[in-house]
Amino acid sequence: MIVYGEIGRISHKASRYYDIINYWVKQVHSSDNKYIKQVYELLRSDIETQRNCINWCSLDRDLISTLGFYEIWLYQDVGNVKLFLLNVKQRIRDHFIQGCSGILQDSSRPTFINTLQILVFNHIKKC
């Protein structure tokens, strides 16, 4: 985690979340006659009718909800796509930093090292 902080980056896993949501936005805004939109609508209707259904559409919903955009999921419209994706990118970065800071604060390392690591993660916020 300290390496991510020093180079001002987030993990590859966290950056993939952005790609997943970007692809979801493309699905939502695609025309109704495309197969990907038809499959998406079918999977979305499955998760609405079956309570414990898990598919990639439900995983998208859960990711979007975790980032605090559940109302976007409900309306199936993001409005300004560029602004929404910028907000998603910032929210993913904030979640990553918050998660790393929490792990560092709970670690058994000496307080001085934890303080240094937290300062480094604050550097990520500025990048």
pLDDT digits (tens, 9 = 90+) for 85-127: 999 999 998 888 888 777 766 766 656 565 666 666 666 655 5
Burial class (CB in 10 A: 0-12, 13-18, 19+), 24: buried
Of how many residues is the chain composed? Answer: 127
pTM score of the predicted model: 0.78
| Secondary structure (H, E, C), 19-56 | HHHHHHHHHHCCCCCCHHHHHHHHHHHHHHHCCCCCCH
* pLDDT at residue 6, rounded to an integer: 66
- Which pair of structure tokens corresponds to residue 3? 């390496």
pLDDT digits (tens, 9 = 90+) for 17-76: 999 999 999 999 999 999 999 999 999 999 999 989 999 999 999 999 999 999 999 999
* pLDDT at residue 34, rounded to an integer: 95
**Residue 96, Cβ neighbours under 10 Å: how many?**
21
- CA 122/CA 124 separation, integer angstroms: 5
* pLDDT at residue 59, rounded to an integer: 95
